[in-house]
Structures are given as C-alpha cells and as structure tokens.
Amino acid sequence: MARADIINYKGRDIFYMDFSNLKTKEEINAVMVESVNFIRNKPEKSITALTNMTNMHFNNEVKDLFSDFLKGNKPHIKISSVFGMSGLARILFNGLMKITGRDVRSFEKETEAKDFLISNS
C-alpha cells in the first residue's frame, strides 16, 4: 500500500496518509508531496483525511514542514483526524493546530480516529 492512498472504512472513503516509522525530513516530505498531489486537486471541503504518525520522528524542522502542509491543505479538507503520536509530538502538534487554524482531532488508536471521522462527516 502506498503511503498516501484512499482506504474504505465502513463503506466510506478516507484519504489515508502514513507517516509511521519515518525518521528523516526527506522521507516525511516525500509523503507530503504525494499527499499534496492528491489533496490540492480536489474540491474545497471534500476530503475526509486520516493520518498515521506512529513512531514518526518529530522535531522543529518537521514541525515547519507540517505547518506549510496543513495550511495549504486546509481549504480541501472536510474533516481530519490523526493517531499514534507520542507525548512530544502531541505537544508540537497542538501548537501547529493553533498556528494553522486547523481542527484535527488526535487519537491514540486508529479505530478511534476512523470512527470519529465516520460519525462526524
């Protein structure tokens, strides 16, 4: 499976971005580029998105990448959730939500994140 792809959950299509276990800025950026090519070619408020950040390396450089990524995707995202963040990543992520004006809900487990998307979209 590609790191950015459509998955189906309970009969609904979700755009899934998999940043799990990525350790370098280059690896993370590659998934972002793949995702941007899909997301930014879709109509406004049309995408339900799920992001896996399990064991992803997170630092200030990566935070800056995500800031630009989140801001640019905002018009196209209807609802979004993320799962698998560690304590430090969650703190940086919450700061990003304030900076970008995005409302992306964070969950510990994938099923929780998917169920949130389905029940709120």
pLDDT in tens, 89-117: 788 888 888 888 888 999 999 999 999 99
Report whether 85 contacts 53 (CB < 8 A). yes
Type of residue found at 114: K
Residue ranges of alpha helices (H) inside 13-107 are 25-39, 60-73, 87-100
pTM of the full predicted structure? 0.93
CATH architecture of structural domain 4-120:
2-Layer Sandwich (3.30)
Delimit the domains of the chain by residue range: 4-120
| 60 contact partners, CB below 8 Å, separation of at least 6 | none
**Which residues are within 8 A (CB) of 107 and not within 5 positions of it... i.e. 6 or more apart?**
81, 82, 83, 113, 116
Q: In the structure, what pLDDT confidence band is assigned to residue 1 with cuts at 50, 70 and 90?
A: low
**Cα distance between residue 63 and residue 65, in whole Å:** 5
